[in-house]
């Protein structure tokens, strides 16, 4: 099993190495990086490239580790017990009918090896990663209600993404292979744009990329635009049929890009940008 990129996803050499290292070590791949650098998409694409079904677990601030294993639906059981005459009370007797399997249970018991994405692990509280140490390490857990040990038939290929909102505990980090997706350089970004918009006019792409990196490099920006924002912006430029000349001034300084709301997402950044425009215009 080796990952070598896909037609829809531009993977740099070091990213491919990291994916293959995690496969070899049979450890989860912990992926960090700015929002919109393709962390979630990586899991989808690797799963597809290796022909594995992908199970996704999107973490929220209220998510508990136990929900990924199983939950016991006591409320349904109580209700069914009160309606017992419906099927002679058979369903209520078997507790297995009230165990709701979580993604880890599904991944462990799947017929074929699967990929498992634990997306945005840093959204959960600090105990969450600690609560999953044993499951990730030994690939097994115990269901107390049914007195069953659930063991992985095949080790799933685990992807864990984080936006760095919280530090992860050392014991958890020890069990992962780590990769930081660096913000794409100009050449990589060019390839990403080519994947999404094949056949886009070269001069428009290079003018748009120049403006994009100029905006990103503005000192003091609160929220830098990301890959996915560049793609949104290009889509708008295409829809509005905006030409390359509109994006770049003669002296190759930053011009006010149209539809800049796709790139800048708060009023401080907008006014910072406008100030810079104003200064440049006066310097000319």
Ligand X SMILES: Nc1ncnc2c1ncn2[C@@H]1O[C@H](COP(=O)(O)OP(=O)(O)OP(=O)(O)O)[C@@H](O)[C@H]1O
Total of chain residues touching ligand X, rule CB under 6 A: 17
CB of 24 to ligand X, least distance (A): 22
Contacts of 45 (CB under 8 A, 6+ apart): 6, 8, 9, 11
Please give the residue whose beta carbon sits closest to ligand X in the complex. Answer: 38
Footprint of ligand X on 221-250 (CB under 6 A)? 227-228, 231
- Residue with smaller CB distance to Mg ion, 163 or 206: 163
- Residue with smaller CB distance to ligand X, 256 or 259: 259
Residue 58 binding ligand X, by CB under 6 A:
no
Footprint of ligand X on 21-40 (CB under 6 A)? 33, 35-40
Write the burial class of residue 186 (CB in 10 Å: 0-12 exposed, 13-18 middle, 19+ buried): exposed
Residue 47 binding ligand X, by CB under 6 A:
no
Residue in 51, 75, 142 with CA at minimum distance from that of residue 104:
142
Partner touching 190 among Mg ion, ligand X, none, CB below 5 to 8 Å by kind: none
Contact 36, 229 (CB under 8 A): yes
- Residue with smaller CB distance to ligand X, 46 or 204: 46
CA distance 25 to 35: 27
- Residues near ligand X, by CB under 6 A: 9-10, 33, 35-41, 161, 163, 192, 195, 227-228, 231
């Amino acid at each position: 099993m080796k990952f070598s990129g896909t037609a829809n996803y531009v993977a740099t050499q070091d990213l491919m190495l990291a994916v293959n290292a995690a496969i070899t070590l049979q450890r989860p791949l912990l992926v960090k990086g700015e929002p919109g650098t393709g962390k979630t998409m990586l899991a989808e694409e690797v799963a597809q490239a290796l022909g594995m079904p992908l199970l996704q677990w999107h973490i929220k601030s209220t998510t508990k580790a136990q929900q990924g294993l199983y939950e016991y639906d006591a409320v349904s059981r109580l209700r069914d017990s009160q309606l017992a005459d419906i099927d002679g009370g058979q369903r209520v007797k078997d507790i297995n009918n009230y165990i709701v399997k979580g993604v880890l249970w599904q991944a462990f018991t799947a017929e074929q090896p699967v990929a498992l994405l634990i997306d945005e692990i840093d959204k959960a509280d600090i105990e969450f990663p600690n609560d999953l140490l044993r499951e990730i390490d030994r690939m097994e857990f115990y269901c107390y209600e049914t007195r069953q040990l659930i063991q992985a038939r095949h080790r799933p290929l685990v992807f864990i993404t984080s936006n760095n909102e919280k530090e992860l505990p050392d014991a958890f980090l020890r069990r992962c292979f780590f990769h930081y997706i660096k913000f794409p350089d100009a050449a990589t970004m060019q390839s990403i744009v080519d994947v999404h918009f094949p056949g886009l006019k070269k001069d428009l792409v290079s003018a748009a990329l120049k403006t994009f990196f100029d905006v990103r490099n503005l000192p003091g920006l609160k929220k830098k635009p990301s890959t996915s924002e560049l793609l949104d912006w290009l889509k708008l430029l295409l829809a509005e049929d905006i030409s390359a000349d509109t994006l770049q001034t003669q002296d190759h300084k930053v011009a006010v890009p149209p539809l800049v709301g796709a790139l800048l997402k708060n009023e401080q950044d907008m006014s910072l940008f406008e100030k810079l425009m104003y200064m440049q215009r006066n310097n000319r």
